[in-house]
């Protein structure tokens, strides 16, 4: 774990303690399970967002992808009777196609990530609303899919499966980001795309793959959200979720300039955000202040982090200056060759 991650974990524990002292319900099994479920749901696509941010890009389409694919999934299973494993497969393939489209527009056609995914945000939401004619997509009354439900909204030992799914995916993505060749190249591309290209890295492929990962994880999240809410209201389902994901990544130490970030960080970021939501509920703060609390905490957290790293780099350059001055003062005494600079 990096220093940043440890700092974030400590913050989560401190906030947790404060909330617990004010309201012991915080650690009740029901609250813990509910919160874990939300962490799982939001963590899934926040991890994907992390990959995109790693490239220096951004994926604004996540919330709309969750709405569109959620509508389609519910309709496939509920209305058309598609067997649920096939419906999952189709949803994932759609996720891949959406990610590919984003990646290709950005790398091959040199469009800006913000523009491409903003258009995605509008288009997918529009298609979802048009497809359902603004009506809510839901499962038929009394229908039940025991295996699918076990997989998505079931619990083992009280732990929601959405949370477990998120953990499994986090482990896989940790290996991908931190241990694989692709992850290494992603770090390089995000930091210095030009130098990465000159090192023989196929930067276009690396970036495209990051968008595919984001869209596929959003597709998985879409299935979990659809099963969790049981019905999908196309105009409001998943609204602003991309912002939760970006916030989690930024809190977790990702730099929007690219090249910096860790999976542990983004997961902890998702945890902190849900903890803050929970805090608002448990401490009786009006829920209208929800976004306000979240924004303030993120702002302070990122500001503190920036100040800290600026302080460290100042200290480093001061050290370098001292070294040089020492050498320069040694030079004023005649010490043989190499002193002609003083002439």
Partner 1 sequence: MSEYQELDLQLNGISKLYPGVVALDDVSLRVQAGEVLGLLGENGAGKSTLMKVLGGIVAPTEGSITIDGESHDQLTVIESQAAGIAFVHQELNVFDNLDVTANIFIGREKTHRGSHIVDSKSMYQTVQPLLDRVGARFRPTTLVAELSLAEQQLLEIAKALSTDARVVIMDEPTSSLTLSETKVLLKVIADLKAQGIAVIFISHRLSEVEECVDRAVVLRDGKLVGHLDKAEVNHDNMIRMMIGRNLKSLYTPPASSVGDAVLSLRNVRTEANPASTASLDVYSGEILGVAGLIGAGRTELAQAIFGVGGKLGGDVFVDGRQLNTTTPAEAIKAGLYLVPEDRKHAGLVLDFDIAENVTMASLHDYAKNGIVSRSRQLATAESQRVDLAIKTADVRCAANEMSGGNQQKVVLAKWLSMNPRIIIFDEPTRGIDVGAKSEIYRLMRILADRGVGVMMISSDMEEVIGVSDRIIVMKDGQFTGALQRPDFSEHNILTLAVGRALEGV
State the residues that interact with partner 1 by CB under 8 A.
175, 179-185, 187-188, 190-192, 195-196, 198-201, 259-260, 317, 320-321, 323-325, 327-328, 331, 337-338, 340-341, 343
Contact 225, 67 (CB under 8 A): no
- Min CB(312)–partner 1 separation in Å: 10
Contact 181, 196 (CB under 8 A): no
Nearer to partner 1, 285 or 331 (CB): 331
- Min CB(101)–partner 1 separation in Å: 24
Phi, psi dihedrals of residue 308, rounded to the nearest 5°: -65, -45
Beta-carbon neighbour count of residue 96 at 10 Å?
14
Nearer to partner 1, 89 or 172 (CB): 172
- Min CB(293)–partner 1 separation in Å: 31
Nearer to partner 1, 30 or 320 (CB): 320
Nearer to partner 1, 187 or 237 (CB): 187
- Min CB(214)–partner 1 separation in Å: 19
Nearer to partner 1, 144 or 332 (CB): 332
* Nearest C-alpha neighbor of 176 from the set 137, 121, 217: 217
Q: How far apart are CA 199 and CA 44, in angstroms?
A: 32
* Nearest C-alpha neighbor of 274 from the set 293, 302, 261: 293
- Min CB(237)–partner 1 separation in Å: 36
Phi, psi dihedrals of residue 232, rounded to the nearest 5°: -120, 120
The CA–CA distances, whole Å, from 302 to 5, 19, 155, 220 equal: 13, 22, 35, 29
Round to the nearest angstrom and report the end-to-end CA distance of the chain: 53
Instruction: Name 275's Cβ contacts closer than 8 Å, sequence gap at least 6.
Output: 12, 15, 16, 19, 35
Beta-carbon neighbour count of residue 92 at 10 Å?
17
Nearer to partner 1, 284 or 338 (CB): 338
- Min CB(327)–partner 1 separation in Å: 5
Nearer to partner 1, 108 or 178 (CB): 178
- Min CB(207)–partner 1 separation in Å: 15
């Amino acid at each position: 774990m990096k220093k940043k991650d440890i700092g974030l974990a400590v913050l989560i524990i401190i906030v947790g303690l404060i909330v617990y002292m004010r309201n012991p319900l915080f650690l009740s099994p029901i609250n813990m399970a509910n919160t874990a479920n939300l962490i799982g749901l939001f963590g899934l696509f926040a991890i994907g967002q992390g990959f995109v941010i790693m490239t220096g890009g951004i994926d604004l389409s996540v919330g709309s992808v969750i709405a569109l694919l959620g509508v389609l999934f519910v309709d496939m299973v509920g209305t058309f009777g598609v067997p649920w494993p096939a419906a999952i497969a189709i949803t994932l393939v759609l996720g891949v196609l959406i990610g590919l489209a984003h990646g290709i527009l950005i790398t091959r056609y040199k469009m800006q990530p913000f523009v491409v995914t903003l258009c995605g945000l509008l288009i997918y939401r529009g298609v979802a609303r048009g497809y359902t004619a603004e009506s809510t997509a839901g499962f038929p009354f009394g229908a039940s899919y025991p295996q699918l439900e076990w997989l998505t909204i079931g619990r083992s030992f009280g732990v929601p499966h959405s949370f477990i799914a998120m953990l499994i995916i986090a482990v896989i993505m940790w290996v991908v980001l931190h241990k694989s060749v692709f992850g290494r190249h992603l770090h390089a591309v995000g930091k210095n795309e030009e130098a990465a290209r000159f090192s023989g890295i196929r930067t276009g492929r690396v970036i495209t793959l990051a968008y595919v990962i984001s869209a596929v994880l959003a597709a998985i999240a879409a299935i979990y959200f659809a099963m969790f809410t049981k019905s999908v209201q196309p105009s409001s389902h998943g609204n602003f979720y991309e912002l939760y994901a970006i916030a989690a990544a930024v809190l977790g130490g990702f730099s929007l300039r690219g090249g910096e970030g860790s999976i542990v960080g983004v997961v902890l970021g998702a945890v902190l955000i849900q903890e803050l939501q929970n805090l608002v509920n448990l401490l009786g703060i009006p829920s209208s202040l929800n976004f306000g609390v979240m924004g303030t905490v993120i702002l302070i957290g990122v500001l503190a982090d920036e100040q800290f790293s600026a302080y460290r780099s100042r200290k480093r350059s001061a050290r370098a200056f001292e070294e040089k001055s020492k050498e320069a003062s040694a030079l004023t005494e005649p010490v043989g060759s190499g002193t002609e600079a003083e002439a």
